């Protein structure tokens, strides 16, 4: 029998101001999964996360974390999950090591246990040297890493990351991806929301997309990849191609030496280059216009 | 096992709160001490010498218990309202609500923070008063007990205020427009029975007047209002306000959407 880290059934949320943020959402996240939870701004992702973490009240429906209802047994849920919120919610005035010790205490860890775990997490995330600083003295990337460390102090089984790499430079983002993958390999289920679809595509095994409070896609990443039949490339050549017609009907001229082509998934890059060569045009550069997940995302959220 | 968990959680919140106010003692302790020093200097010494005696006691002895309880009230209130609202403002309060803390532990932790500050300020002000006059404490246990009850009550009230506050202005409205007038009209500087009859009757509805009177009894043994009534009233108010604060926490008012 499949064990689920998260089960959401017919979840609805209407805020007091009348905004219907979630409309009958149902989805499951398997134990051990690295799950992408995607959607444009205001789609309802943070509301779902708020409900899982008990910071937002449910209008109707059920949410279970490791089989227990979050409204009926919130203490169990809170012990099982760690959450990295989208917005910084750090106490700006106390040293970050003290924040960690406090959070550990809220979860029942002694000061010694919290200190030990803090050192381990801070060293893994490269912020141990900043342990005596307050959040005000940290860069954006360091604050993100601190929030990740804070969410992991009690060894949660389910980690919810709400845009954890927003505003983080490329090098650090790659380091964080490795960190998430390692955590997932160690058995932590991860739910990731992100606007960097490449991040979701690289890291996640399954995904859900919400749009205007509704679930519009829920499948495995491999299904998404194989379902995309067309692919768009940008080609840069060494010749004037404004009057050529290499890929008739599927070619859009960008400038004299560049064009955009839409081809079937089965056509290889070599075949594309050969087609241009046959017309005495050398291909200098070939770029994928957008990744497959991005194509799906735009298709679902702009329809 | 659970008892141990609750104890660790409670001590963590208390430690956080204690460290918070003690780290900024220049803002939290010193102002009250200076204010009361000035009150004792001006009212106790300069003006007090002209007033003479009230209830056969030097004026300075009469006002010191009220001057001690004033900062106990304001510091316990301001400690909790400031800390909890600041947490809400920074959203760091979410740390508490995504952790497996019971609402009783959260409230008790904050209240203990307020109580600890109230005791330190109260003691500091008492020490300052000793520089002006030798005032023996009539009933030390009662003084400590009343300090505890009063600071618990006003810490809880501060918590309720913080949960409903929508801006930093809102956390100053109650202290400025309710607590300060009630405290000044609570008989700190005068005997309620020296007032005209109408004002005497109105003062009977001022709960702080009972607290000042009870505290004065604990210090100098003179009872203007029934001390038992003050203690019963404090217990009832604490019970009611504690229940309201727990309701607020369970509902997530000010925290949950």
Q: What is the DSSP letter of B102?
A: -
Mean of pLDDT values over A275-303: 78
What letter does residue B99 receive in the DSSP assignment? T
Q: Is A94 on the interface with B (CB under 8 A)?
A: yes
pLDDT score of B7? 95
pLDDT-above-90 percentage for chain B: 65
Distance from CA of A291 to the nearest CA of B (A): 36
Rounded to a whole number of angstroms, the distance from the CA of A36 to the nearest CA of chain B is 22
Reported as type and span, the H/E element at residue B215 is helix B207-220
> Is 60 exceeded by the pLDDT of residue A89?
yes
Model ipTM value: 0.89
- Helices A140-152 and A111-125, axial angle in degrees (round to 10): 140
Residue to test with chain A: of B12, B27, B101, most A Cβ within 10 A: B12
What is the chain B residue with the closest CA to A53? B98
Please identify which residue in the block is written with the tokens 């306000």: B241
Q: Which stretches within chain A are classed as H helix?
A: 45-52, 74-80, 96-106, 111-125, 140-152, 170-185, 197-203, 221-227, 269-278, 292-302
pLDDT of A255 reads 87
User: Would you say B57 and B44 are in contact if contact means Cβ atoms under 8 Å apart?
Assistant: no
Which residue ranges make up each domain of chain B? Answer: 2-251
pLDDT score, position B30: 94
Say if residue A248's pLDDT is above 70: no
Q: Cα–Cα distance between B193 and A114 in angstroms, integer?
A: 58
> CB-CB: which of B8, B90, B255 is closest to A108?
B8
Q: How far apart are CA A238 and CA A14, in angstroms?
A: 57
pLDDT over 60 at A303, yes or no: no
Per-residue pLDDT, averaged over A233-252, amounts to: 80
Tens-digit pLDDT string for chain B (257 aa): 566 899 999 999 999 999 999 999 999 999 999 998 898 888 877 887 788 788 778 888 889 999 999 999 999 999 999 999 999 999 999 999 999 999 999 999 999 999 999 999 999 999 999 988 888 889 999 999 999 999 999 999 999 999 999 999 999 888 889 998 898 888 888 888 888 888 888 888 999 999 999 999 999 988 888 999 999 999 999 999 999 999 999 998 888 77
The alpha carbon torsion through A248, A254, A256, A262 (nearest 10 deg) reads -30
A6 confidence band (pLDDT: 50, 70, 90): very high
Would you call A15 an interface residue with chain B, using a CB distance cutoff of 8 Å? yes
CB contacts, 8 Å: A161 with chain B? none
How far apart, in whole angstroms, are the C-alpha atoms of residue A127 and residue A145?
8
Q: Does A79 touch chain B (CB under 8 A)?
A: yes
Per-window interface: A 139-198 vs B, CB < 8 A: 150
Identify the residue with better confidence: B235 or A272.
B235
Percentage of chain A lying above the pLDDT 70 cut: 97
How large is the average pLDDT for residues A285-289? 82
pLDDT at B1 (0 to 100) = 58
Report which of A109, A197, A184, A183 is spatially closest to residue A153, judged by C-alpha positions: A109
pLDDT value, residue B119: 97
pLDDT category, A277, cuts 50, 70, 90? confident
Q: How far is CA B243 from the centre of its chain?
A: 19
CB A80 within 8 A of CB A20: no
pLDDT category of residue A14 using cuts at 50, 70 and 90: very high
Q: Compute the nearest-CA separation of A238 from chain B (Å).
A: 56
Angle between helices A96-106 and B2-23 (to 10 degrees): 150
Can you list the domains of chain A with their CATH numbers?
A: 4-225 (3.40.50.300), 229-302 (3.30.70)
**How many Å lie between the alpha carbon of A73 and the closest alpha carbon of chain B?**
10
Q: Hey, are the CB atoms on B255 and A92 less than 8 Å from each other?
A: no
Q: Which of A108, A111, A153 to mutate to test the interface with B (most CBs of B within 10 A)?
A: A108
pLDDT confidence tier of residue A167, bands split at 50, 70 and 90: confident
CB contact under 8 A, A91 and B101: no
Task: For residue range A207-236, list pLDDT tens digits in order.
Answer: 999 999 999 888 888 887 776 667 788 889
Is the CA virtual torsion B5, B8, B12, B18 positive or negative? positive
Could you give the count of Cα atoms lying within 13 Å of A74 in the half-sphere of its Cβ? 20
Mean pLDDT value across residues A110-118: 95
Q: Which two tokens stand for residue B68?
A: 């001690």
pLDDT band at A249 (very low <50, low <70, confident <90, very high): low
Supply angle C-alpha B185, B186, B190, rounded to 5: 80
Confidence of residue A188 (pLDDT cuts 50, 70, 90): very high
Structure tokens at A235: 């080609």
- Quote the crossing angle between the two packed helices A96-106 and A140-152, to the nearest 10°: 20
Q: Has residue A113 got a pLDDT over 90?
A: yes
Nearest to B12 among A75, A81, A105 (CB): A105
Residue B248 · residue B160 · CB < 8 Å: yes
Measured between beta carbons, the chain A residues lying within 8 angstroms of B108 are none
Q: Which of A167-171, A242-246, B73-77, B185-189 has the lowest mean pLDDT?
A: A242-246
pLDDT of residue A186: 95
List of chain B residues whose C-beta atoms are within 8 Å of the C-beta of residue A110 = 8
pLDDT tens for A131-160 read 999 999 999 999 999 999 999 999 999 999
A96 has a pLDDT exceeding 70:
yes
Q: What CA–CA distance (Å, rounded) separates A42 from A21?
A: 8
Predicted model pTM: 0.86
In chain B, which ranges are E strands? Answer: 53-54, 57-58
Task: Give the three-class secondary structure for A166.
Answer: coil
């Amino acid at each position: 029998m499949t064990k689920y880290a998260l089960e959401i059934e017919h979840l609805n949320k209407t805020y007091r101001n009348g905004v219907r943020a979630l409309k009958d959402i149902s989805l499951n996240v398997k134990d051990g999964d690295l799950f992408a939870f995607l959607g444009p701004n205001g789609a309802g992702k943070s509301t779902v996360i708020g409900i899982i973490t008990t910071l937002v009240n449910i209008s109707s429906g059920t949410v279970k974390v490791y089989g227990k209802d979050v409204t009926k047994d919130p203490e169990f849920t809170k012990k099982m999950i760690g959450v990295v919120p989208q917005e910084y919610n750090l106490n700006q005035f106390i040293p970050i090591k003290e924040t960690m010790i406090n959070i550990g205490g809220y979860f029942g860890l002694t000061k010694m246990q919290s200190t030990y775990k803090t050192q381990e997490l801070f060293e893994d995330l490269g912020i141990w040297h900043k342990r005596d600083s307050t959040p005000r003295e940290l860069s954006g990337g360091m604050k993100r890493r601190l929030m990740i460390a804070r969410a992991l102090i009690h060894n949660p089984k389910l980690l919810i990351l709400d845009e954890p790499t927003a505003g983080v430079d490329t090098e650090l983002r790659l380091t964080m991806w490795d960190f998430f993958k390692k955590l997932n390999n160690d058995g932590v289920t991860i739910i990731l929301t992100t606007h960097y679809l490449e991040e979701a595509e690289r890291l996640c095994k399954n995904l859900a997309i919400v749009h205007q409070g509704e679930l519009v896609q829920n499948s495995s990443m491999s299904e998404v990849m194989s379902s995309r039949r067309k692919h768009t490339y940008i080609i840069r050549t060494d010749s004037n191609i404004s009057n050529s017609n290499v890929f008739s009907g599927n070619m859009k001229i960008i400038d004299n030496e560049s064009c955009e082509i839409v081809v079937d998934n089965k056509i290889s890059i070599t075949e594309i280059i050969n087609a241009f060569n046959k017309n005495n045009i050398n291909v200098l550069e070939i770029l994928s216009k957008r990744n497959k997940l991005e194509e799906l995302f735009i298709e679902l959220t702009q329809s | 096992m659970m008892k141990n968990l609750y104890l660790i959680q409670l001590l963590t919140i208390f430690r956080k709160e204690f460290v918070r106010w003690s780290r900024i003692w220049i803002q939290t302790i010193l102002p009250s001490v200076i204010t009361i020093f000035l009150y004792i200097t001006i009212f106790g010494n300069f003006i007090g010498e002209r007033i003479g005696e009230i209830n056969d006691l030097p004026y300075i002895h009469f006002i010191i218990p009220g001057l001690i309880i004033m900062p106990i009230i304001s510091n316990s209130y301001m400690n909790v309202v400031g800390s909890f609202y600041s947490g809400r403002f920074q959203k760091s309060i979410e740390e508490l609500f995504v952790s497996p803390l019971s609402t009783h532990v959260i409230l008790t932790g904050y209240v203990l923070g307020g109580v600890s500050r109230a005791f330190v300020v109260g003691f500091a002000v008492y020490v300052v008063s000793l520089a002006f006059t030798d005032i023996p404490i009539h009933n030390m246990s009662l003084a400590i007990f009343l300090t505890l009850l009063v600071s618990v009550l006003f810490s809880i009230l501060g918590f309720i205020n913080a949960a409903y506050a929508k801006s930093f202005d809102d956390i100053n409205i109650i202290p400025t427009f309710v607590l300060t007038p009630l405290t000044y009209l609570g008989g700190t500087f005068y005997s309620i029975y020296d007032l005209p009859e109408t004002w005497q009757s109105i003062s009977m509805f001022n709960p702080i007047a009972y607290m000042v009177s009870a505290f004065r009894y604990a210090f100098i043994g003179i009872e203007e209002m029934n001390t038992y009534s003050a203690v019963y009233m404090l217990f009832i108010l604490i019970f009611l306000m504690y229940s309201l604060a727990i309701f607020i926490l369970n509902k997530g008012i000010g925290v949950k959407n």
